[in-house]
A = this chain, B = another copy of it.
Amino acid sequence: MATEIPDIVIGRLPLYLRALTHLAEKGQTTTSSHELGQRLGISSAQIRKDLSHFGEFGKQGTGYHINFLIDQLRHILHLNLVWSIAIVGAGYLGHALAHYQGFEQRGFRVAWVFDNDPQRVGETVNGVEVRHINDMIACLREEHVQMALLAVPTEAAQETADMLIEAGITAILSYAPINLKVPVGVQVQYSDPVVQMQRMTYYLNATAQYPET
């Protein structure tokens, strides 16, 4: 039970948390592994087994108390505090991210926005002033910021990631469609819509779109 917990299990916890929060908002107070599994398209056994890595949170016959389980998951995922994050690149995507309303309730706060375009620097995005990229390392170091969202053009992604690492960042969510080289100890997650779309076209029928050809 105290052994290393598989990454794949950790990866599902935020989904459980999201679904539980949704149920709580609807006023529900308890749920079962079966109900949760149905909503998520995951087997109930898997949910029970995943949770059992961390303790015994449920009650036979009853299931799980939603608020209690939410608290436990928040604690496990280190979401019992609010993480300050930086957004790098204040273009279309950077603006969208800075305006995203989902961060606050889920454990994150956009504390910094950086760009290298003098036109953009000084502008305020959703209450946060855009700072120049040259100040980035100093700002993030001082505040011990650990996580950044990378939304700069592809060509600038690697060098910007290098700067982030120099600034002490250890978790990056990158939107640039390239694989970053980072030292061990730095986590990277990627978000590339085209990769997800291309995963789906494999299963689509290519002739349906142009029926006459």
Contact = CB atoms under 8 A, between A and B. Distances in A.
Interface of A: 10-11, 13-15, 17-19, 22, 39-41, 76-81, 83-85, 92-93, 95-97, 99-100, 102-103, 106-108, 144-147, 149, 170-171, 173, 177-179, 187, 189, 191-206, 208-211
Contacts of A149: 193
Copies in the complex: 2
Given A99-B92, A177-B102, A208-B144, A203 B191 contact: no
Query: Looking at chain A's contact residues, is the secondary structure mostly helix, strand, loop, or mixed?
Result: mixed
B11 A199 contact: yes
A61 B99 CA distance: 52
A171 B14 contact: no
Contact of A196 (B13, B100, B173): B173
A196 B84 CA distance: 15
A142 to B, nearest CB: 11
Interface centre among A97, A145, A200, A204 (most CB of B within 10 A): A200
B14 A198 contact: yes
